[in-house]
Amino acid sequence: MKRKNSEKALYPEFEQLNMPSIEKEILQWWKENNVFERSISERSEDKRFVFYEGPPSANGKPGIHHVMGRTIKDLFCRYKTLQGFRVERKAGWDTHGLPVELNVEKQLGITKADIGTKISVEEYNKHCREDVMRYTDLWNELTEKMGYWVDLKNPYVTYENDYIETLWALLKKLYEKGLLYEGYTIQPYSPAAGTGLSSHELNQPGCYRNVKDATAIAMFKVVRSKESDFLFKTESDDVRILAWTTTPWTLPSNTALAVGSGIEYVLVKTFNAFTFKPIQVVLAKDLMAQYFPKENEELDFESYKEGDKKIPYKVLQSFKGSDLKDIRYEQLLPYTQPEDGDAFRVIIGDFVTTTDGTGIVHIAPSFGSDDFRVAKQNGIGSLTLVDRQGKFVDAVNDEVFPLQNRYVKEDYYTAEEKQAEYEYQKMILSEKGVIPNLKSFMSVDDLIVLKLKLENKLFKTEKYEHSYPHCWRTDKPVIYYPLDSWFIKTTAVKNRLIELNKTINWKPAHTGEGRFGQWLENLVDWNLSRSRYWGTPLPIWRNNSGEEKCIGSVAELKLEIEKAVQAGVSKPTEITDLHKPIVDEIVLVSETGKPMQRVPDLIDVWFDSGAMPYAQWHYPFKNENVFKQNFPADFIAEGVDQTRGWFFTLHVLAVALFDSVAYKNVVSNGLLLDKNGNKMSKRLGNVIDPFDTIENYSADATRWYMIRNSDPWDNMKFDIEGLQEVQRSLFGTLYNTYSFFALYANIDKPAKAPNVLVENKNFVELDRWILSRLQTLLKETTAFYEDFEPTKAARAIEKFMDEDLSNWYVRLNRRRFWKGEMSEDKQAAYDTLYFCLNTVAQLMSPVAPFFSEWLFGNLHGNSFQSTSADTVNSIHLSLLSKANNSFVNSDLEERMELAQRACSLILSLRKKEKIKVRQPLNKILIPVLSNTQEQQFKKVESYILSEVNVKEIEYISDASDIVKKKIKPNFRELGKRAGQKIKAVQQAVAAFTQEDISRIEREKQYTLNLDGEEFLLQLNEVEIQTEDIPGWLVVSDAGLTVALDVTITDDLRKEGNAREFINKVQNLRKDKNFQVLDRIKVSVVKNGIFEEALNQFYDYISNEILAKQISLVETLDTADEVQMNEEMLQVKVEVV
RNA sequence: AGUCUCGUAGCUCAGGUGGUUAGAGCGCUACACUGAUAAUGUAGAGGUCCGCAGUUCGAGUCUGCGCGGGACUACCA
């Protein structure tokens, strides 16, 4: 920024504030002097504050929301440094995972199916490795420009061999603890592609599509037993449970029915619409109306004939779902039976609703995750009658319908296959006498529905449109299917996870207790497996004989390879990389001498990042001490979307491996939205570019705006206008305040203030007041930072700067700086202002590291030119001033507040009467409540008088009867005692006369008569305020009343004119660019009004305007015209 | 669908343990100030505190039920 005054001047002055330009200078200076490195190395190793950086993925460009997240990280690290802690910050990069793969595929124009054919796995992974660091430069640039201090020179990178080796070591440790196992779950599976799909892949646009499927309400025949007896009246009753499905092909695999325990069900007597046989069906009461029109209830059972459209029905009884528990039913399609478990029962499912269907859910544990879970809980076995190709297995061997070996989804057929199948269906169904001449192809669903219909097992069927997931690679429908996966048994440590979570300080607390806590309560095992190419391989080798081995290090792997080579099952292999395909080519040997292959799975990338506390140091292979010093973290921060991501995996691994938390404090920040509350997206064109923002408005203004605007954990609406406001109000005010200080300090050349606040007898009331406020601010702000409440800290600083320092201290003190020679009093004022600026700079430095550095540098004679390492004096190397309690004076703060309020009231009165402040007035009247209050006022009286330009204040005590008062109940106090009588008391009090008010004030109590009942009202149960002073101009607010005498006497008028004249001349001086200290000569054309004023106030006037001479003349050749109240004056001013 | 969260002035946000006239800044309007001046001050307009019901003498605040925004998780007959 361009300097206005000479290099020799004590304090630099500038043309105008340009924050982006300041930041460039400071950045350069930081770099040249290694300030960041020093801010760590100069702090003791014994006093650490441990921070973990959550690794971003560098294959996407950084956005403005990253500035938000990183500001939070940065500010607490800087704050702790300011408190003397050593805060090391190792950067990190997340490099594995699907987004990287997708990016590469997009660039190369290939799909996953091409891997291994068009492109080798080796080559593919090479591209991933290069692509993932594509935007590192951009990230580094943003990191630097936004002032985020993190060690970019030694980052951890998750694809590096050392990193992966740690992951293997951890996996092996889990394996040995029995926490790593293979199991199976129901996952989205694409038979066409032969692979499982992640939820991420399923959430690709276009994957969920509306399709029309044949749905069926099947009738499950109840077996009469102890549990079901209540449903039967006679031996011949045919009781059926109704269950709806949109996937009839799963019905052969049905092994249970689920009901909601609290849902109300009914037993309804009716006839089957297809077979016309009498039946009794069970379904949810709420859903009856969908199947049984109300008017049919009246129909006569006796007169019902087969084929009648209207079917009579009658509700026989109703009961709760829990009554149905354990009722057995006949298997619907008994092709085969499950080998394990106790199937074909009614069970309770928490997920059952009555929004559609029948309120009873058909359970096929192999083809639904809810089904699987609830079946397992209830000990129900499963049937998996579909193979991996999506075809019914041989066991589905129907005598009539061709189901065996048929695809369960018709989309899996090719056109030719479908035609052929249709021909076959036509033939067989005709042969069996089911359909003489089949018109079109029937899907498996259709066939099953038809079969049920014929067997009196179908209640209803219809086409139903619903959204169904499709495979993004093959476009064919997905089915849910049991697949093998490797899991971490997080459920085994669930209780410790919950316990230790309670020791973590979450900001905000509800994320920890609510979102995260709930998640832990409903924990399922962590599915680690991913069928991908670019990621950390699972280091498990095994063979078909059930032998397996988990490898925990490169050394171990080498040893095993050697063994395998000796056993003759493998060739020697050089291990250069721990990724696919190299590790897949390695064959190891088992204990019994058989070859073992690596299981093909890669692991979830979240394991990579969750393991960073260990892997960033290559622990346990290296750096054991470093690791121990840096575990667990004192502080981490990321977006709230990481709650079940990074926050979770860090926690799980630390608890499972070390029985410890991974972090003690965690701040989760909300989302950054555009100014209308929409998510920023390229599509909407509302993305804010972080580089532009920093370039145009500075990093500090951006950082400050983000922090001060709303709590980090709330979503933030980002608005450039808000940023400008911050720039103008906070930084502008600070800059102005500093400029003011520099301007006069360069003239007066005061001694440099002490670095620590010490007692000085020359401090005046105002100095002591602002210093007291400053100490309070110091304590408050420190407490807010300690509590991870940066928004409260920033707002407290703003308030101090604006209301206290600039708007009161400096404004009331201006004369002290600009009048007269250097003095002890002036020195005290300079010291005070210097100390305030210095401390404010420190307090704001975590949030605004550049501006505070600049301000600090200006105060300490640092021009940011020096590159001499010995003289580096950075605010970020300094230690935060300690609060000095002896300077806190709450009486003083209280009376200054009284003064501020009184001034505000008086100014509003002047305003109302249109009397400008330059017109002196005689008297203010203030009714005071106590002697103490009067004393308080008297101590700040001079400030009030000069601020509002009035000659004297008269205090009137309670006793005087000129003051009119009003009274109202103090509800908080009165409510405690009066309770329901409060309304009556309120009415009685409202009726008080001035006399009554005086009496309760005098006697401290008052007996009320409430409808014949006495109530003794205490003085503290009412609030008495002054309302009016007859004959005066009065205003009151919140218990403070002031009255102003607005009479302008002749003398006052003259004085007012004198001041008006001074003001005009001062303006002329400025217009004419006179120096502040120039002496002048003034000539004024004769004017009666002015002459009066001049005669009486000659000395005062000339002193104020630094005039050697003021003369009245008849005429002037050249003169300026100035308006002095009513009169126009001809004036000439010259420097002498 | 579930869990969590938010809803106060045109905008951004404050409003311990319930207390009767709900605040601030910005913006707007008007006026003033002018040796901090591309600053600043004063005043004014602007609110069914998302809705409904409840508890209470009294609800922005507590409880319940909704509505709307957001995040995450899940994808279900």
DSSP-assigned states of every residue in A784-844: HHHTT-HHHHHHHHHHIIIIIIIIIIIHHHHHHHHSSS--HHHHHHHHHHHHHHHHHHHHH
Strands of the sheet containing A180-190, edge to edge, are: A195-196, A180-190, A479-488, A526-527
ipTM of the complex: 0.87
What pLDDT score was predicted for residue A651? 93
CB A667 within 8 Å of CB A509: no
Contact A547, A592 (CB under 8 A): yes
Task: Name the pTM for this structure.
Answer: 0.84
A682 is catalytic: yes
Task: Kindly give, in sequence order, each residue whose CB lies less than 8 Å from that of residue A124, ignoring residues fewer than 6 positions away.
Answer: A104, A115, A533, A534
- The gap from C-alpha A587 to its chain's centroid, in whole angstroms, comes to 48
User: What's the pLDDT at A961?
Assistant: 66
- Nearest Cα neighbor of A735 from A861, A874, A864, A841 is A841
* Amino acid A824 CA to nucleotide B24 C1' distance, rounded Å: 38
Tell me A1052's DSSP state. H
- Who contacts A1001 (Cβ-Cβ below 8 Å, separation ≥6)? A958, A1019, A1024
Q: What is the rounded CA–CA span in Å between residue A368 and residue A377?
A: 14
Which pLDDT value is given to residue A7? Answer: 78
Residue A205's pLDDT is 57
Q: What is the mean pLDDT of each run of 10 residues along chain A (1136 residues)?
A: 80 87 93 94 94 88 88 96 96 88 86 83 92 90 95 95 96 94 83 72 65 85 91 88 89 90 87 89 85 83 82 89 90 88 86 79 87 84 88 89 90 89 91 88 90 90 77 80 87 90 88 81 82 90 92 95 91 89 92 92 89 95 95 92 85 94 92 73 73 91 90 84 85 90 88 85 90 91 92 90 86 80 88 92 95 93 70 90 88 84 81 79 84 87 84 78 78 81 82 83 81 81 76 73 84 85 81 77 84 85 83 82 76 83
**Amino acid in the structure at residue A662:** A
Q: How many CB atoms lie within 10 A of CB A266?
A: 19
CB crowding A1087-1108: b at 16 or more within 10 Å, else e = bebbebbbeebeeebbebbbbe
What amino acid is encoded at A458 in this protein?
L
CA-based angle A954:A958:A963, to the nearest 5?
70
| Token output for A1014 | 């006495």
Say how far apart CA A1039 and CA A1025 lie, in whole Å: 6
Token pair belonging to A17: 């504030």
Strands, DSSP E only, in A520-560?
A: 526-527, 529-530, 540-542, 548-550
Whole-number Å distance, CA A209 to C1' B53? 41
From CA A1046, how far away is CA A912, in angstroms rounded?
11
CB A98 within 8 A of CB A608: no
How far is the C-alpha of A269 from the C-alpha of A261, rounded, in Å?
23
Measured CA to C1', the nucleotide nearest A728 is: B39
Q: Tell the residue number behind the tokens 């100390």, with chain if given.
A: A835
**Separation of A518 CA and B4 C1' (Å):** 9
Phi, psi values for residue A925, rounded to 5°: -115, 125
For chain A, report the end-to-end CA distance as a whole number of angstroms: 35
Which residue pairs, CB below 8 angstroms and at least 24 apart, start in A801-807? A801/A730, A801/A733, A801/A734, A801/A737, A801/A840, A802/A729, A802/A730, A802/A733, A804/A770, A804/A773, A805/A737, A805/A770, A805/A836, A805/A840, A806/A733, A806/A736, A806/A737
Based on the residue annotation, tell me whether A606 is a catalytic residue of this protein: yes
DSSP A514: I
Q: Find, among A488, A516, A480, A485, the residue nearest to A501 by Cα.
A: A516
Catalytic, A646? Answer yes
Q: Which residue has the tokens 């009666």?
A: A1088
DSSP state for residue A252 in the 8-state scheme: G
- Let me know the angle formed at the C-alpha of A714 by A705 and A664, rounded to the nearest 5 degrees: 100
The neighbouring-strand residues paired with A1129 are A1122
- Say whether A454 sits in a helix, a strand or coil: helix
Integer Cα distance of A1099 and A1106 in angstroms: 10
Annotated catalytic residue A704: no
- Quick one: pLDDT at residue A558? 94
Nucleotides of strand B within 7 Å of the protein's CB atoms: 1, 3-6, 11-14, 19-20, 25-26, 31-43, 56-58, 69-77
pLDDT for the residue A685: 67
Q: Determine the pLDDT at residue A682.
A: 65
Burial A320-345 (b: 16+ CB within 10 A, else e): ebebbeebbbebbbebbebeebebbb
Of residues A176, A184, A50, A182, the one with CA closest to residue A656: A176
Active site residue A769: no
User: Distance between CA atoms of A573 and A582, rounded to whole angstroms?
Assistant: 9
Is residue A363 within 8 A of residue A254, CB to CB? The reply is: yes
Rounded to an integer, what distance in angstroms lies between the CA atom of residue A404 and that of residue A1091? 120
Considering the candidates A682, A761, A914, A976, report the single residue annotated as catalytic: A682
Task: Note the CA–C1' distance, A894 to B53, in angstroms.
Answer: 45
**d(Cα A892, Cα A511) in Å, to the nearest integer?**
42
Cβ(A708)–Cβ(A68) under 8 Å?
no
pLDDT value for A785: 94
Closest residue to B25 measured CA to C1′: A725
Based on the residue annotation, tell me whether A679 is a catalytic residue of this protein: yes
Separation CA A266–CA A290 (nearest Å):
14
A827 is catalytic: no
Question: What is the spatial distance, in angstroms and rounded to an integer, between the CA atom of A708 and the C1' atom of B49?
Answer: 23
Q: What's the pLDDT at A910?
A: 80
- Tokens in use for A1110? 């003021």
Minimum CA–C1' distance nucleotide for A1076: B35
- Cα within 13 Å of Cα(A73), Cβ side: 27
Please name the nucleotide lying closest to A811, CA to C1': B36
